[in-house]
Structure 1
Amino acid sequence: MIYLILDVFYNDIGGECTAKVSGIRFHGIEQTEILSEHIVTVENVAPYESGQFYKRELPCLLAMLEKIDDPYDVIIIDGYVFLDGVSKPGLGKYLYDSLAVKKPVIGIAKNHFPEVSNDYAVWRGISKHPLYVTSVGMEVDEAKHLVANLAGKHRMPTMVTAVDQLGRN
């Protein structure tokens, strides 16, 4: 399986917002190998709206996906697929619905959303705080297993840190 992990870093300057979207294609779970790295800059990004985060981030993720010609099987995002774990759409569900060719989307969220139960928590390393994993197109237990076993000894899997750093550099 080839995974594509995506992240968006925002830069607000003088009332104008741009986004730097980073993506890493990789394979392997416990031992990962980077296949390719991608960067896309998106101009005139929508302002942040509380409770409507997808309106800002979705166009950025779609801009990245338009630029990637290499194959991938699963998309991993920073955020929730479902805001209640099962049916209330979040960024990942909106992304999935926007895909012409459906690929499973796994959301890894760092912060707990009130409507998401601990059934979605994944504990990694010795962290006192879990990650919250939701998915569409893949059973959530399979997605949780994947995230729990991604390379890295700490709370954040190595690939989550790598795509974040790629976007910030």
Structure 2
Amino acid sequence: MRDRWTCSSSTGTCTSTRTAVPGIAAPADEEFGVPVIGVAKTAFRSATHAIPVLRGKSVRPLQVTAIGLAPDEAARIVRTMAGPHRLPDALRRVDRLSRE
């Protein structure tokens, strides 16, 4: 059984459709063998199963998907991550670094 507290967060989706077509973050699950939480800043039409998560004072939700743990648990984790803004501090830093 996987350690439920060991997970990776990504600025992308884990699955892009309800039938679990792998999304951009999905290879991390296979590569590292840990649960992966996908966080997208914009909704994908095919990701109708993504859970919208509001943070801070934002009215635009993050779209959360997961592989290896329950989607509701992934949404709870993203909702409670550190930071006062829409994008959690850790994901904001990862997003910035990935663009450099």
TM-score clears 0.5:
yes
Q: Residues of 1 paired with 2:96 and 2:44: CA distance?
A: 24
Q: Residues of 2 paired with 1:113 and 1:96: CA distance?
A: 20
1:110 deviates by: 0.4
C-alpha contact (below 8 Å) 2:49/2:65 kept by paired residues = no
C-alpha contact (below 8 Å) 2:54/2:86 kept by paired residues = yes
What pairs up with 1:40-55 in 2 under 5 angstroms? none
5+ residue gaps, structure 2: none
C-alpha contact (below 8 Å) 1:81/1:134 kept by paired residues = yes
Show the counterpart of 1:89: 22
Show the counterpart of 2:87: 156
Q: Residues of 2 paired with 1:92 and 1:166: CA distance?
A: 16
Match 2:39 to one of 108, 114, 118 = 108
Q: Residues of 2 paired with 1:102 and 1:166: CA distance?
A: 24
Matching of residue 133 in structure 1 with residue 61 in structure 2: no
1:93 deviates by: 2.0
1:33-56 CA deviation, whole Å, 9 max, x = no partner? xxxxxxxxxxxxxxxxxxxxxxxx
Match 2:10 to one of 63, 67, 77 = 77
C-alpha contact (below 8 Å) 1:92/1:135 kept by paired residues = no
1:116 deviates by: 2.4
Q: Residues of 2 paired with 1:86 and 1:126: CA distance?
A: 32
Query: Larger Rg: 1 or 2?
Result: 1
Which one has more relative contact order, counting CA pairs under 8 Å at least 6 apart? Answer: 2
- Give the structure with the larger strand fraction: 1
TM-score with structure 2 setting the length = 0.82
Structure 1 residue ranges, 4+ long, deviating more than 3 angstroms after superposition: 165-169
1:167 deviates by: 4.2
5+ residue gaps, structure 1: 4-72
